[in-house]
Structure 1
Amino acid sequence: METRRLQMLAELARRGSMRAVAEATGTTTSTVSQQVAALAQDMGTALIEPHGRRVRLTSAGRRLAEHAVTILAAVEAAQRDLSPDAPPTGTVRVAGFATAIRAQLLPIISGLSTSHPQLSILVREHEPAEALQLLANDEADLALTYDYNLAPAEPDPAVAITPLWTAPWGLGIPDNVARPSAPGTPEVFRWFRTADWIGNSRNTGDETVIRTLASMAGFTPHLTHQADSLDLVQGMIAAGMGVGLLPMGTSTLPGVHLVPLTAPDVVLRAFAVARRGRDGWPPLALLTDLIFRQSAQSA
């Protein structure tokens, strides 16, 4: 089995078309088609099938593509072991939430273009559940995700998780409303029990935290508005539309005040997540390490 043919299949699984594979590998669509056809003959089973005007992988093709990633990673690891100074090459697909991409990933990418010119990064902005689904479907190599200490993510033995950073969150309120004098998260929540509450439109973690703390304070929150963008959440708060969770230390818009939440604290926890067996792939391992280091510097 030639690794070049496996690479063509793996790229086809990632990119979705013969033309995209040809562009990525610097060859022609005819060559890609021939290599995949030869691999199918080697394996004794069909790996692709017509799908409209394009092709898609068969179930056997998808399974072999998953094996191909591991096999190619092992080959590259062996080559790196023999030539430890050889730079990692390939394309790493990253799906993650906007804050992590902006703060940890983007500063790295500009440096990688100089230090590792043969390594490319594809970025897609997604909330945690979306990013993890892309990871499970082999549509992403690395997921940048988060959860809350009061709404932890379900453990998944199929993935390797690298903790990145934590950040305390508070309650954003309109600047012109009365504020509680008593400390403690339940007291703060109880003070705003009649307010409208703003949640996240694409992640249920915020709502879980709000409902948990409201229950501790003895009421059911009136969750009305939803927004994914923290700037939009702040805009809603400034407009007097409600209150909502926001990271402490963030620059607030005029008309927004942040109330600390303590006892219990509300803490966001960020992670880099990769599928087990693929986390050792040199380009992915390098990028994960760089993101970890960038997170430590930013803490």
Structure 2
Amino acid sequence: MLDIRRLHMLKTVAARGSITAAAQSLALSAGAVSQQLAALRHDVGVDLLRPDGRTVALTEAGRVLLEHADRILAAMEEAECAVAAVKGTVGATATLAALPSTVARIVAPALTALGTDHPQLAVTCLVTDQAQLRELTLGTVDVVLGQRYHHVPETMPKGIAVSPLLDDPLLVVTAADGSDERSFGLRELATHHLVVPPATTDCGQAILHACRQAGFTPTTRYVTADIAAQLALARSGLATALVPRTAIDPATPGISAAPIEDHPIQRLLFAATRRTETTNPTTAAVIAALGTAARQDHTTYLPPA
């Protein structure tokens, strides 16, 4: 009989591209992973991996086995969810991966609420610049708080369920000058020196796309994905920033944050989990807390004067 742990190792090696990388993500030694994969190869009687330069790749037999392994692992998770649903209680652990721009206004309030409502649940939070959807498919995280900009076609890995949380517009952030708040036309920013994220990021791509749609190429003076640095440059008057609303503390002094009236740049914040027929009470509790925090943030936000 095939060992499900070895099937999971095969899936992880295929996703990571090497035994060393897989071992690191599994918190095992490379030797231990190699040993288990050798045992799996013995069980099936055929090679499952082959060298591919500095990495490894699946053989034809490995690809066939992985297709079945995906279904087996999904069935195991479905069984665990079904039992948890019968118990009707939130579990003891969960891992959440979130973007830095969501921590202060959504993640922190959600985790605070979870601590009150489900004190037995310990949530590990991984804060990373890129949504960890691959980690979700590999089972290393349970919930991903991710983003998708509206001009980008939706692409989601197979087997992932998405719960929309909030439409989050980018605001034009400048140094406060004491004047009344006003909205901007995006074309106005053609004369501004901008601080923007790198063009390789989702936000950087969205800004560049929107500016081109408005008929200009932005004058980029500073490039950084660090929102604190963007706000500092805007506060000093050195640059104008385009920052997601949820990433701005309304009480931040020295800045003015205004909407874009004609070519709004929006991102959709979402919570993603592995798709199962039966709802897992633990991940459902995490998503519910994120949703409540997102709704409260939306209704209580007031642009700084």
Equivalent residue, structure 1, for 2:161 = 160
Cα deviation code 1:172-220 (max 9, x no counterpart): 012249x798x6542xx3444311112112514345335525653x543
Deviation at 1:148, TM superposition (A): 3.1
Q: How does 1:221-240 map to 2 (within 5 A)?
A: 221-240=218-237
Deviation at 1:168, TM superposition (A): 3.3
Query: CA 1:156–1:18 in structure 2 vs 1: closer, same or farther (change >3 Å)?
Result: closer
The one-letter amino acid paired with 1:16 is A
Indicate the SS of the match to 1:78: helix
Q: How does 1:168-179 map to 2 (within 5 A)?
A: 168-176=169-177
- Residue among 12, 16, 23 paired with 2:22: 16
Deviation at 1:258, TM superposition (A): 1.2
Q: Give yes or no for contact 2:211–2:218 (8 Å, CA) kept in 1.
A: no
The one-letter amino acid paired with 1:269 is L
Equivalent residue, structure 2, for 1:247 = 244
| Deviates further, 107-116 or 196-205 | 107-116
Indicate the SS of the match to 1:245: strand
Equivalent residue, structure 2, for 1:26 = none
The one-letter amino acid paired with 1:199 is V
Coordinate RMSD, CA, aligned:
4.7
Q: Give yes or no for contact 1:160–1:273 (8 Å, CA) kept in 2.
A: yes
- Number of matched pairs: 279
Q: How does 1:86-101 map to 2 (within 5 A)?
A: 95-101=97-103
Q: How does 1:123-272 map to 2 (within 5 A)?
A: 123=126, 125-128=128-131, 131-132=132-133, 142-149=143-150, 151-156=151-156, 158=158, 159-176=160-177, 185-186=184-185, 189-201=186-198, 202-209=200-207, 211-213=209-211, 215-216=213-214, 218-248=215-245, 250-251=249-250, 253-272=252-271
In 2: Cα distance, 1:191 partner to 1:280 partner: 47
Deviation at 1:42, TM superposition (A): 2.1
The one-letter amino acid paired with 2:260 is L
Q: Give yes or no for contact 2:163–2:272 (8 Å, CA) kept in 1.
A: yes
Query: CA 1:6–1:225 in structure 2 vs 1: closer, same or farther (change >3 Å)?
Result: same
Equivalent residue, structure 2, for 1:292 = 287
In 1: Cα distance, 2:124 partner to 2:254 partner: 39
Q: Give yes or no for contact 2:167–2:269 (8 Å, CA) kept in 1.
A: yes
Q: How does 1:49-128 map to 2 (within 5 A)?
A: 58-59=58-59, 64=65, 67-78=68-79, 81=82, 84-85=86-87, 95-101=97-103, 104-105=106-107, 107-108=110-111, 111=115, 115=120, 121=124, 123=126, 125-128=128-131
Indicate the SS of the match to 1:294: helix
Q: How does 1:2-13 map to 2 (within 5 A)?
A: 2-6=2-6, 9=9, 13=13
Indicate the SS of the match to 1:127: coil
Indicate the SS of the match to 2:190: coil
Q: Give yes or no for contact 2:164–2:271 (8 Å, CA) kept in 1.
A: yes
Indicate the SS of the match to 1:46: coil
Q: Does 1:38 align with 2:43?
A: no
In 1: Cα distance, 2:48 partner to 2:90 partner: 28
Q: Give yes or no for contact 1:162–1:271 (8 Å, CA) kept in 2.
A: yes
Q: Give yes or no for contact 2:149–2:206 (8 Å, CA) kept in 1.
A: no
The one-letter amino acid paired with 1:41 is H
The one-letter amino acid paired with 2:201 is N
